[in-house]
Structures are given as C-alpha cells and as structure tokens.
C-alpha cells in the first residue's frame, strides 16, 4: 500500500481533493528494491523508497518479503488513489535472483502478460513490462549493486496476483498481450480520472494495427458498436480500437500516425455529443443537449410539436424514435455533422465514415464521404 503521507491530502487547501496513486511500474520497482536489498545487504524492510522519473521520491509499503533458496520475493499492494484503475488493490510481486551475467533479465511471472503481436514498444516474446518501469528497476538495482559492491546481474520476475483475470477487463488481449496484465507507467503516478492509461492503450491499438499492415480501423465506444463494426466491415480484432468516450485520443493520434480508413462507430447519444465538438463524451464531461437536438429537428423541417417532444425527451434514443416516426432523418443528419468534426482533425489521406447505432446494435445513422 502506498504511504498515506506521500499520497493522501492531509489538511487545509488539499482536503477534499482526489488522491493520486502509483503505477504498476512504481509498485514493481519498490518490490524489486525490497527483494534486492534483502539479497545483497541482508536487510529486511517494510517500506521501500523509490525515485520517480520526474525526480520526486515516494515510499511504498511492502506487504510481504521472504527469502527462499537464493531468491527473494517482495509484494506490494497497488494503490491507484481515487482513479478507477483495474489493478487497484491487486498484489504485485517481484522475485529477484542473482546471476553472473551483468544487467537485468526480465521474466513474466504469473499474471503478467507476454507480447505476441508487433506494434508495441516491447518486442514480440518479451514480458509486457514497459520501457520506463524497466529503466526504473534497472536504475534502482544498480544503485543497490554499487552500495553492496556487487558486480553481477539480476533475474527479475514480475507477477500480479489474479492478473490474468483482471486483464479480461482491459484491452490487452486485443493488443496481443497474452497471459495477463502489462506493467505500465511513464511518470510513476496515477492521476485520478486522467485517462492516461486508457489513452495509451488507444495509441497502442493504432500502432499494432499499423505494424500488422491493417489499413482500415474502426474506433468504437463499446461492445455493441464493436459487434456492429465487425459485422459490417468484416474486420479482425486487431482492427478494432476500443476508444470508450475518448474520440479525441483517436483523432489526434491519427494525425501523426495515419491509416488508410477510419470508421467511427458509436451509440447515437455519443455520436450526438461528438457532433457538437466534444472530444470526450463521458457524462462527467458533457450531457446530451436536447435543446440542440430540437434545433436540428427544426433545421430538418420538423414541426413544433416534434421539436417539443425532442426537447422534453429523457434519452437521445427516445428523441430519435419520435423523429423516425415522422421520417425526419435525424440519425443521418447527426452522423453527417460528426463526420465534419472528424474530418477537421484528420489529414486528407485518411478516409472516414460514421456509424451511429442504437442499444440493440441497429444502424440508426450513417455518413460517409
């Protein structure tokens, strides 16, 4: 568990703020430090101090530490602060064994995945431990080696209890990371609701598609829109980018890393929010604007009673239903507006279309160039 002193606001102007947490990479580093300190210096500790990439230091509680036949194993309980992180509360463990060869050899333990598909920053066949956590572990172990006047190397196995089960709630399988979770982090800190990990997964999905010569991707907001995209276009899993509410993360990344064709597939409500220019369509960021929808109905020739019905709707699907009853093409109109927004972010070389679906996965709006 990360220390309360380092992460939890205590008083004054900080009271009430959301807590930050520490990444799996930071937790792995702390566990590696505790295990290696036991091996090299014979020192058992219940707290490990680590230096984060930005230069600050954090102290992490060591949940358990044991020495067994030349191997030291330390565990850390992941604290993601107030972020809804899939790994919050999970036990991450590291086993360290000394070896004659210099340097650090990384092994995927139970619950940590292995890379099986090109396009990620880690080569195929390697444990899914990202570059920054690897470097953090190397740096800290080298410091301990210098302190102990040790000239050999280390074999570092990183595992996460129940990691394979937890990974089912992530995009790892689609990215080609098999057998568990990834050990992530670029700053060491998890900022509540920053979506940084999700955005990184979106970018990785696009990279994997490019590395595997996939020229048509579909960015989808959830399972219903994913199923529709796969059925409509016949795309493989690697061509599906699970973007959630983060339209902007897809479009901005494609400006620098283009593909041949992008299909935006989402529920009608999210397409409507995006059509208004919202790049994050989560309900905490923006609401469905029924007055705006009513104005679109007016622009399409809908009468005053229909406009009023749309304005007083409880859901966007209810509003759409009223329009469908009167043959007002609100779905296609909103999709066309969304297409204009998407085009404003994408280079001309990328083709694009927009599919809006209802809760049953039926197409209710479509636009293409």
Same-domain status, 257 and 122: no
Which residues fall within 8 angstroms of residue 173, CB to CB, at 6 or more apart?
167, 237
Same-domain status, 179 and 205: no
pLDDT of residue 11: 33
Confidence class of residue 9 from pLDDT cuts 50, 70 and 90? very low
Instruction: Please give the average per-residue pLDDT across 96-122, as a whole number.
Output: 94
Same-domain status, 169 and 228: no
Reference 212, options 342, 290, 116, 140; nearest CA is 116
Residue 316 has pLDDT above 50, yes or no: yes
Interval 114-128: pLDDT, tens: 999 888 889 999 999
Residue 109 has pLDDT above 90, yes or no: yes
* Cα distance between residue 314 and residue 162, in whole Å: 40
Q: 300: which 2 tokens?
A: 């399409």
Q: Return the residue matching tokens 């279309």.
A: 353
**Residue 234 near residue 271, CB atoms below 8 Å:** no
Full residue range of the structural domain in which residue 266 is found: 195-368
Reference 269, options 360, 332, 358; nearest CA is 358
What is the CATH classification number for the domain harbouring 174? 3.30.2110.10
Confidence class of residue 13 from pLDDT cuts 50, 70 and 90? very low
Determine how many CB atoms are found less than 10 A away from the CB of residue 341.
19
Same-domain status, 169 and 34: yes
Number of domains in the chain: 2
Same-domain status, 305 and 250: yes
**What are φ and ψ of residue 275, in 5° steps?**
-60, -25
Q: Model-level pTM?
A: 0.70
Same-domain status, 184 and 218: no
pLDDT of residue 119: 83
DSSP 212: T
Instruction: Please give the average per-residue pLDDT across 192-220, as a whole number.
Output: 87
Who has greater pLDDT, 222 or 279?
279
- Per the domain annotation, does 1 fall within a domain? no
How far apart, in Å, do the first and last CA atoms of the chain sit?
A: 52
Reference 119, options 259, 287, 317; nearest CA is 259
* Cα distance between residue 270 and residue 278, in whole Å: 9
**Residue 76 near residue 43, CB atoms below 8 Å:** no
Interval 80-91: pLDDT, tens: 876 667 888 999
Same-domain status, 217 and 129: no
Structure-derived torsion over alpha carbons of residues 165, 170, 171, 173, reported in degrees to the nearest 10: 0
- Per the domain annotation, does 3 fall within a domain? no
Sign of CA dihedral 99, 105, 111, 115: negative
Domain boundary among 158, 190, 222: 190
Same-domain status, 40 and 174: yes
Average pLDDT value over all residues in the chain: 91
Instruction: Please give the average per-residue pLDDT across 242-250, as a whole number.
Output: 94
């Amino acid at each position: 568990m990360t220390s309360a002193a380092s992460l939890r606001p205590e008083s004054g102007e900080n009271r009430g703020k959301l807590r930050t947490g520490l990444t799996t990479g930071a937790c792995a580093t702390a566990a590696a430090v505790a295990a290696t300190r036991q091996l090299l210096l014979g020192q058992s500790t219940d707290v490990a101090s680590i230096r984060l990439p930005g230069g600050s230091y954090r102290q992490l509680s060591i949940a358990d530490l044991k020495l067994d036949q030349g191997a030291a194993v330390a565990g850390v309980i992941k604290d993601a602060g107030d972020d809804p992180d899939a790994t919050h509360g999970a036990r991450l463990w590291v086993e360290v064994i000394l070896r004659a060869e210099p340097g650090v050899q990384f092994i995927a333990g139970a619950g940590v995945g292995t890379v099986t598909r090109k396009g990620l920053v880690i080569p195929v066949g390697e444990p899914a431990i990202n570059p920054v956590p690897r470097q953090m572990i190397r740096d800290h172990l080298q410091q301990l080696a210098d302190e102990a006047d040790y000239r050999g190397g280390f074999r570092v196995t990183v595992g996460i209890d129940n990691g394979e089960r937890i990974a089912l709630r992530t995009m790892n399988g689609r990215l080609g990371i098999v057998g568990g979770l990834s050990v992530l982090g670029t700053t060491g800190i998890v900022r509540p609701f920053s979506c940084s990990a999700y955005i990184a997964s979106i970018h990785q999905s696009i990279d994997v598609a490019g590395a595997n010569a996939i020229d048509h991707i579909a960015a989808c907001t959830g399972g219903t829109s994913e199923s529709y995209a796969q059925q409509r276009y016949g795309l493989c899993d690697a061509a599906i980018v699970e973007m959630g509410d983060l339209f902007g993360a897809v479009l901005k990344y494609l400006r620098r890393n283009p593909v041949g064709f992008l299909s935006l597939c989402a529920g009608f409500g999210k397409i409507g929010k995006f059509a208004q220019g919202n790049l994050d369509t989560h309900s905490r960021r923006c609401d469905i604007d029924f007055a705006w929808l009513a104005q679109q109905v007016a622009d399409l020739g809908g009468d005053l009673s229909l406009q009023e019905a749309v304005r007083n709707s409880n859901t966007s699907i209810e509003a759409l239903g009223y329009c469908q009853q009167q043959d007002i093409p609100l779905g296609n109109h909103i999709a066309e507006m969304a297409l204009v927004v998407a085009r404003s972010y994408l280079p001309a070389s990328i083709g694009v279309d927009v599919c809006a679906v209802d809760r049953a996965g039926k197409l209710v709006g479509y636009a293409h160039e």
